[in-house]
Chains A and B, each alone.
Chain A
Amino acid sequence: MSPQNHQHAPLRLADEADAAAARDEAESGQHRFDEIIADDSRIEPRDWMPESYRKSLVRQVSQHAHSEIIGMQPEGNWISRAPSLKRKAILMAKVQDEAGHGLYLYSAAETLGTPREDMYDQLYSGKAKYSSIFNYPARTWADVGAIGWLVDGAAIVNQVPLCRASYGPYGRAMVRICKEESFHQRQGWEILYSLSHGTQEQREMAQAAVDRFYGPALQMFGPPDGDSPNSQQSMAWNIKRFTNDELRQRFVDMIVPQVEALGLTLPDPELKWNEERGHYDFAELDWDEFFAVIKGNGPLSRQRLEHYRSARDEGAWVREAAVAYANRVSQEQDRDQAALIGA
């Protein structure tokens, strides 16, 4: 035996001891994790958690963050064309909120050990998914109203239960987001209200916007429960609280009286109150379209990504300048410090 081999033997023993310790830790960690989930309590960043839980969460939270960031674009396009200074100020505040939501969520996802740079890069490269609703254009000012009312409205129904998500930082981000979303929904509804109480032309514009966004907004809850393979596990982990279809139903029940208050209609001839179920029945949605949009064939899929990339590229010099300035200041401080000590 060569001397090297002598050295290897004890090392291998140490490796095995390490492996055994890791197994023990995983076992007690899993046990503790299961207890916390069963108690409907919260997992915090430094807790042991199953790798699959961590992965699912990173995917869910970062996709959510990307959606907030891309979600700025349809409305952002209208900031310079808002019909009054007041509407412009409101829209800027809303779009700024969405940027904030993205950052809260990136911050939460980062606590799971995925660097923010990686998440940005995934969006930049087109690898990451985001909510397909944002691949639809905002054609008219009424669309801005329909987006606020229906898209943010659906987001609220999705997000309120997530305030109780089992991962602490995610739940806390959602609480902050939900507080801000209700303004988004109301301002959208008011845009539509003004239009539906305006001229005939404005009324038609409002109705057309509702017609365009109704279906895609309902699809924001994801595919029907039968086609949603990951839902079961997510519900068991308390990172999803209700099924896609339950949330969709809740949303439909909510918006029917709201559309009546607008004096407009929803584009579904089958929409009808079902006394027996205590819910509205509604028609099957166009799922072929949904899956086509998810696969990147949405009306503006390519444009949204290109816009994100150019914003990122064109802003690079600002980020670089900020780093250069910070470095220079800290070097000057170090020099002053050294001079002081030298004296």
Chain B
Amino acid sequence: MAAQTMTGAEIVINALVDQGVDTIFGYPGGAVLPIYDALFQQNKIRHILVRHEQGAVHAAEGYARSTGKPGVVLVTSGPGATNAVTGLADALMDSIPLICLTGQVPTHLIGSDAFQECDTVGITRHCTKHNWLVKSVDDLGRIMHEAFYVATNGRPGPVVIDIPKDIQFQSAEYAGMQNVAHKTYRPRVKGDIEAIREALELIANAKKPIFYTGGGVINSGPVASQLLRDFVQLTGFPITSTLMGLGAYPASGKNWLGMLGMHGTFEANNAMHDCDVMINIGARFDDRVTGRLDAFAPNSKKIHIDIDASSINKNVRVDVGIIGDCAHVLEDMIRLYKAKAIRPDKAALADWWKQIDVWRDRKSLSYKASDEVIKPQYAIQRLHELSKGRDTYITTEVGQHQMWAAQHFPFEKPNHWMTSGGLGTMGYGLPAAVGVQIAHPDALVIDIAGEASIQMCMQEISTAVQFMLPVKIFILNNEYMGMVRQWQELLHGGRYSHSYSESLPDFVKLAEAYGATGIRASTPGELDAKIQQMFDTPGPVIFDCLVDKKENCYPMIPSGAAHNEMILADDEDSASVSEEGKMLV
């Protein structure tokens, strides 16, 4: 394409189109009016008007995570940018590729405390992978393309481009998409073959191996998930995953142990504790997963595959670190595994599986059923059962309901599970569901929510109504910030300080006020019919599911404890937390 002269605002739009963007999430304001004007005069990009900039970022996250494409956000200067900060921090923690365009006061006013000025690049430096303040319109086109490159290559993450208003008006030549490679940022994707050989040596001699996989497999793309499935089948090893990695290996697969970590299954955590070879693929030894570090898988050799070199040996020392993209490394690993004709130790593996079956028999996800009150776990199981056969995407808020969703809603495919893992952001689920539904208009998109969390970005129901997005908000209403209440019960003598959800709105009426549909269920007997009614309702629905108020989320590794010191539902009375553990979050 020959270079064309156009305004900064037009460069923004053209660069987005060149990057294959067809949808952006945003909210207008003074400092982005020229870009909004350019949006108005084109029809290649659809703009989804949210109700709060935090919602725009979470929606873009949901869009990105369910499609594998980067999400794009457009907000104004000052409060528009600061409102986006929580979403950016969330995306950074969970490695979600986002491009967030922020308006800025005109260059000659920067630093003068102008109206709606804030130091956006300063504020977002710590919650983005990288950011730019565009100081000359001549740089704008290059920066736009660089931003996409940085956000999507290596470990993905959010980036911010801060664009002063005068630059949006000024003209420059735009030469289209060219030379997208970055001057300094060239992440490696191929793993070191020597390290891969070393890893295979450990794998070949393992007697009690385990795969521990994470969000990196999902981020790497569908090929990585497929290769993971192949490798698990080839080796016959058991596999567990972090919260972020659910779906990479199917929950119905026979080697699946369930999620690990603080609310992981008994078999997954015990297998982690007792394993002799751990194969970490795209996970980061997060504290929710490791429990007490000095008691973490004490007798194991550890292999760690990660695209981010700084993840290796950060929290846990490993024996073999492989820097590279999960799909590339898995491909090489499988090739060499086959070439070397590695045969796992069948007898040892059989013993290992026998031990795992003993742990499985504890049925750590079981709960006391009831025919009077709806148990939250039961509600999720019904939701799953009744949604079978549909293309279902689940998002969540943060709390007990999130953990129950992870435990009781089995995922068969990657990219169908959207949750705020690293930052744990209440308010994530509804806007994320909006983003998912935009990308998958015919899918069933459910936000499994808590009555407290949902109020944090409730306003986005209005977005769903405007764009006719049939998202289903399934509130497990226990009238408590249940997760907070559970910790207060466990750690603070049952003093439920400010964790009761006082003055709740009538969620059914609230739905109606927004022009959506409200449904309430209060007994197990009516649950199925009401869920079916929710599925059959064409537009957005708020489902107020009144559940057991005192149910706790088990199993649980209490803070400061080791993987083999889990509390199970049936010994919850003896639960205790060490003094040291109380300090942890």
Q: Do A and B come from one complex?
A: no
Query: Which residues does B use to contact A, with CB under 8 Å?
Result: none
